[in-house]
Amino acid sequence: MSINQGTASTVDAVIVGAGFSGLYLLHRLRGLGFSTRVFEAGGDVGGTWYWNRYPGCRCDVESLQYSYSFSEELQQERNWPERFSAQPDILKYANHVADRFDLRRDIQFETTVTRAHFDAARRRWSVETDTGENIAARFLIMATGCISTAQIPDFDGLSDFAGETYHTGNWPHEGVDFTGRRIAVIGTGSSGIQAIPVLATQAEHVTVFQRTPNYSLPCQNGPITDEYARSWKDNYAALREEQRHTAKGNIRELNNESALAVTQERRAEMYQKRWAIGGAGFLSSFNDLLVDRAANETAAEFVRTQIRSIVRHPATAELLVAKDYPIGTKRICIDSGYFETFNRDNVALVDVADTPIERITPGGLVVDGRSFEFDAIVFATGFDAMTGTLFKVDIQGRGGATLRDKWAAGPRTYLGLMTRDFPNLFMITGPGSPSVLSNMMVSIEQHVDWVTESLVHMRAENLELMEPTLKAEDDWVEHVNVVAHKTLFPLAASWYMGANIPGKPRIFMPYIGGVGTYRSICEAVVADGYRGFAFDAGAARVAAAE
**Torsion angle of the four alpha carbons 264, 266, 267, 273, in this order, in degrees rounded to the nearest 10:** 140
Q: Which residue sits closest to ligand N01, CB atoms considered?
A: 189
Compare residues 190 and 243 and give the one whose CB is closer to ligand N01.
Answer: 190
Q: How far apart are CA 495 and CA 499, in angstroms?
A: 5
Beta partners for residue 118, in sequence order:
125
Asked if 166 and 27 touch (Cβ cutoff 8 Å), the reply is: no
**Distance in Å, CB of 246 to ligand N01, minimum:** 18
**Distance in Å, CB of 274 to ligand N01, minimum:** 17
Cβ neighbors of 502 (< 8 A, separation 6 or more) are none
**Distance in Å, CB of 81 to ligand N01, minimum:** 17
Q: How far apart are CA 308 and CA 288, in angstroms?
A: 25
Asked if 196 and 338 touch (Cβ cutoff 8 Å), the reply is: yes
Q: How far apart are CA 114 and CA 423, in angstroms?
A: 19
Compare residues 352 and 401 and give the one whose CB is closer to ligand N01.
Answer: 352
Q: How far apart are CA 39 and CA 144, in angstroms?
A: 10
**Distance in Å, CB of 492 to ligand N01, minimum:** 9
Which positions lie near ligand N01, rule CB under 6 A? 59-60, 147, 153, 168, 186-192, 194, 209, 211-212, 331, 334, 352, 357, 380-383, 436, 495, 500
Q: How far apart are CA 181 and CA 197, in angstroms?
A: 15
Degrees, nearest 5: CA angle 195-200-203: 110
Q: What is the DSSP letter of 437?
A: G
Q: How far apart are CA 14 and CA 38, in angstroms?
A: 6
Compare residues 100 and 506 and give the one whose CB is closer to ligand N01.
Answer: 506
**Distance in Å, CB of 392 to ligand N01, minimum:** 17
**Distance in Å, CB of 539 to ligand N01, minimum:** 45
Compare residues 34 and 80 and give the one whose CB is closer to ligand N01.
Answer: 80
Cβ neighbors of 458 (< 8 A, separation 6 or more) are 1, 464, 466, 535
**Distance in Å, CB of 4 to ligand N01, minimum:** 37
Q: How far apart are CA 407 and CA 193, in angstroms?
A: 32
Compare residues 318 and 536 and give the one whose CB is closer to ligand N01.
Answer: 318
Compare residues 151 and 424 and give the one whose CB is closer to ligand N01.
Answer: 151
**Distance in Å, CB of 211 to ligand N01, minimum:** 3
**Torsion angle of the four alpha carbons 104, 150, 146, 337, in this order, in degrees rounded to the nearest 10:** 100
Compare residues 456 and 499 and give the one whose CB is closer to ligand N01.
Answer: 499
Compare residues 56 and 410 and give the one whose CB is closer to ligand N01.
Answer: 56
Would you mind telling me the total number of residues written for the chain in this entry?
546
Compare residues 262 and 348 and give the one whose CB is closer to ligand N01.
Answer: 348
Q: Which amino acid is at 345?
A: D
**Distance in Å, CB of 328 to ligand N01, minimum:** 12
Asked if 378 and 184 touch (Cβ cutoff 8 Å), the reply is: yes
